[in-house]
Structures are given as C-alpha cells and as structure tokens.
Amino acid sequence: MRIALAGAGAFGEKHLDGLKLIDGVEIVSVISRRADQAAEVAAKYGARHSGTELDEALARDDVDAVILCTPTQMHASQAIACMNAGKHVQVEIPLADSWADALAVQKKQQETGLVCMVGHTRRFNPSHQYIHNKITAGELAIQQMDVQTYFFRRKNMNAKGEPRSWTDHLLWHHAAHTVDLFAYQAGRIVKANALEGPIHPELGIAMDMSIQLKSETGAICTLSLSFNNDGPLGTFFRYIGDNGTWIARYDDLFTGKEEQVDLTGVTVSNNGIELQDREFIAAIREGREPNSSVGKVLDCYRVLGELETQLSSAS
C-alpha cells in the first residue's frame, strides 16, 4: 500500500509514526506548504518524493491512497480531488466546515466507490473501544456523557507550539470528536443546543462554547469547550452508565474512582492514531467500508450544521 501524506505538521507526523508500524505500507510522497518542511519529513520517513502541491502526489502512479492532514478549510475540496484522481483518501477530522461540503464529499465517494474515511480518532482509542464493546454486548447503556475539551490557544499555534497558517475552530473541529462519539456510543442525536462566548478580536472565533446533546435512546451529553483554559489540556470523557462510570483520557481508561482499567487485548495497539490508520489500510485491502467512513460519520456534520445555524441566529 503506497501512501502520500499531505500536511507534514504535528499531526501528520503522528500518522507517519503509525503507518511505519503497519506491514506492507510505504510512504511515497510528503506534501506540505513549505518545501523545506516537506523535504525534511520525507527524508525522515523514507519517502522518495516531496513537494508543495497536492496535485503532484495525485498525478503519481505509485500512490494508492492519500492521508490529508491539511487545514480544515481544505479538507472537503482536497478529499474530492483525491477521489477524482482515483485515490483512496483518509481526511483528518473534520471532514468539512459546512454541511453542504460534507454532503458533497459523500456524493463523490458514492460515485467512485473508493474508500473515503474520516479521522474520527475517538472511535479507535482503546479506551472508547472498551466502552463500545460493552455497549454492543448489551452489558452497558449510556445515561450521560460529560466531556471537557480544553486548550490554551490565544495565539494561532499548533500542537508543537509553532505558528499556524489557518485558524482552528471549536465547533467544526473539536466538537466533532464528541458529537460523533456520543452518537456512536448512545445512538443518533435527536436534539442539540449550543451557546458560545465572546468572539476573539484577532482570531475571529468564539473561544468558549457549551453544547448539549440528546440521543434517540434518551441519553444526554454535556460538552464544554475552551481555547482560554490555562490548565490541563486535552479532552476528557466521563461515561455515566446504568451500571458503572468510566473516565477516558485519550488511549487510557479509568473507573469513576480513578482506578486504571487494564486495556490489554482490547486492540492490537494502544495508539489510537495507529489503529485508525490500520483500519484505513485494511478497508482498502479488503474492499470494504471502514469504521468512520464518510457515510458512517456524516450525521455528525448534520448536527454541527444545525448548531452553527443556532449560533448564527442567536448572535
């Protein structure tokens, strides 16, 4: 399986680290906004090509599939371009920053029949897989999820502390993780509400947001998001079930009493990004729809679109 990576920033390298652990995978091309960065990352991971334009990779006959870790605003159009070129594509979360663009990507996937997968990593983290296995086995029903997504992003910086060329978004990016995960664990979302705080004068986005969700099973979710939080960073999930409480912190899981859960044997790896990439490669090889395909995560973007409409009408 010959892969091109577009977007050689902090998250792009996480994918490359995961891909090198998968048998039969070769990194062929690395594309980035800066030629020097693309060349440096290509050399580090043994790719024979680097460049600054996605079209360079799409034109190559030695590329089977593309992973997009580019700015949010490019995701939908680039995913469509990949499929137009006959390449399977995994686009990092979010799929799009509008409901219309999300639908356009799904339409192209249906036309081409190619694998189009979205990087909804929470479906793959061992911690959340453990909970999902209990739910599907009939051993657990979610009553409530309480989620905190907290960063300190008053400057436009990436996860490495480097300046970003684009602006991140609490609703279309960070809320997408929880909106999709809640539906994955508790059923289709039938009601959603949102409030946002003041708009940042330079970044032009809300820095704080609160979201409420209700699923068809009656479960509820409360999601708090902030770019103003000067404290522990990341996303923390509290699952309150009918017979237990668990707290998920990325790939780790704890009981409500902070006892760590042994996740040995839940998956072949303890790295959610690697597991996500393993699913992408396996789906292509096996000719099947992957978990977190565009079709399976599409309803998340319906909900985000409805929330954006709410926020716009309230402002």
Q: For the domain bounded by 122-268+300-314, which CATH number is listed? A: 3.30.360.10
- Cβ–Cβ under 8 Å, residues 8 and 31: yes
Q: Model confidence over 18-77: pLDDT tens digits? A: 999 999 999 999 999 999 999 999 999 999 999 999 999 999 999 999 999 999 999 999
Residues of the chain with pLDDT under 70: 153-167, 315
**How many whole angstroms separate alpha carbon 280 and alpha carbon 47?**
19
pLDDT of 75 reads 97
Domain covering 2-121+273-292: architecture: 3-Layer(aba) Sandwich (3.40)
- So where are the chain's domains? 2-121+273-292, 122-268+300-314
Taking the chain, what is the end-to-end CA distance rounded to the nearest angstrom?
A: 48
User: Residue 67: CB partners within 8 Å, gap ≥ 6?
Assistant: 3, 4, 5, 6, 12, 15, 19, 89, 90, 91, 92, 277, 280
Three-state DSSP at 26 gives strand
pLDDT of 305 reads 97
pLDDT of 163 reads 59
- The answer to whether 2-121+273-292 and 122-268+300-314 have equal CATH topology is no
Q: How far from chain centre, in Å, is Cα 134?
A: 23
Q: Model confidence over 218-249: pLDDT tens digits? A: 999 999 999 999 888 889 999 999 999 999 99
